[in-house]
Amino acid sequence: MGIDAVTLMAMAVFEDARASRRNAEVTRLAALMREASSVVALTGAGVSVPSGIPDFRSPGTGLWTRVDPMEVAHIDSFREDPERFWSFYSERFAALTEKEPNGAHRALARLERRGLLDAVITQNIDLLHRAAGSEEVVEVHGSIARCRCLECGGFVPLADARARAAADPHGIPRCERCGAPLKPDVVLFGELLPSVAMARAEELSEGADVLLCVGSSLEVHPVAGLPLITHGRGGKVAIITRGPTPLDDIADVRLSGDVVEELDALLAELDDEHRG
């Protein structure tokens, strides 16, 4: 037997071991979800990567490779130079509105329809959970659905804001009522998270028997504190994402494959239990 054959056999054994370990984890997660009276999902950028929306934290893939995010996407930059802000973001937000939900979004919507998931808390601003059919969506970083006037509090749909920007000599969409520049209703660096959404997210995390964290590196606070709330109340934390997270130590279930494949495996497992 040549060295290549030995290597291949060893790799096959390793793959088998990894697959069966993964199956065991998926089986355990499915069992936890069936026993739970409340399951809540917490999703991050990794859920939207299969839809072609890069995770800006992955080196070389994001829109931040040539721009300092702390600079352009900071609330101070918006206030100081709304023209520059909108010239950078107008096209980018428009591009997001053309993206489609993927298998991970659809799997979570299906779990909710089947009564196995209460809500999705998301850090994503792309509206793809709603597009996939999820009903209870808590957008803790806001969304691209609309823009807001920081002066008078008025709201305008994003498409209207872009039309106003196109008609403005400086490319700045302005509030009809007070003339102030409109800001996308997404959380910029240096801004607090929307208090109503964050309070709802905390309430859901407190009541969750299982918190299903999908595609989040769990590094951005205060959202990264939500699994600690669930864990502190005796709930289980499942983490489904590639790469390590700072909360792997408290995870009861840890799956590190592709998010779409892992969620598909979970749905298949839940179907099996249903039949059995």
Under the binding rule (CB under 5 A), the answer on residue 239 touching Zn ion is no
CA distances from 261 to 4, 124, 162 (A): 29, 20, 37
The catalytically annotated residue of 74, 105, 129, 141 is 141
Q: Is 170 known to be catalytic?
A: no
CB of 150 to Zn ion, least distance (A): 8
CB of 35 to Zn ion, least distance (A): 50
Q: Which of residues 167-186 bind Zn ion (CB under 5 A)?
A: 175, 177-178, 180
Q: Which is nearer to Zn ion, 71 or 151 (CB)?
A: 151
Q: Which is nearer to Zn ion, 83 or 136 (CB)?
A: 83
Q: Which of residues 136-155 bind Zn ion (CB under 5 A)?
A: 149, 151-152, 154
Q: Which is nearer to Zn ion, 185 or 262 (CB)?
A: 185
Q: Is the peptide bond before 173 cis (omega within 30 degrees of 0)?
A: no
Identity of the amino acid at 273: E
CB of 79 to Zn ion, least distance (A): 14
Tell me the number of residues near Zn ion by CB under 5 A. 8
CB of 152 to Zn ion, least distance (A): 3
Q: Which of residues 179-238 bind Zn ion (CB under 5 A)?
A: 180
Binding mask 94-133 for Zn ion (x = CB under 5 A): ----------------------------------------
Structural tokens at position 195: 């208090």
Q: Which is nearer to Zn ion, 142 or 235 (CB)?
A: 142
Identity of the amino acid at 75: I
Q: Which is nearer to Zn ion, 28 or 79 (CB)?
A: 79
- For the chain, the three-class secondary structure string (H helix, E strand, C coil) is CCHHHHHHHHHHHHHHHHHHHHHHHHHHHHHHHHHCCCEEEEECHHHCHHHCCCCCCCCCCCCCCCCCHHHHCEHHHHHHCHHHHHHHHHHHHHHHCCCCCCHHHHHHHHHHHCCCCCEEEECCCCCHHHHHCCCCEEECCEEEEEEEECCCCCEEEHHHHHHHHHHCCCCCCECCCCCCEEEEEECCECCCCCHHHHHHHHHHHHHCCEEEEECCCCCCCCHHHHHHHHHHCCCEEEEECCCCCCCHHHCCEEECCCHHHHHHHHHHHHHHHHHC
CB of 151 to Zn ion, least distance (A): 5
CB of 30 to Zn ion, least distance (A): 49
Q: Which is nearer to Zn ion, 154 or 257 (CB)?
A: 154
**Positions that interact with Zn ion (CB under 5 A):** 149, 151-152, 154, 175, 177-178, 180
Residues with a known catalytic role: 141
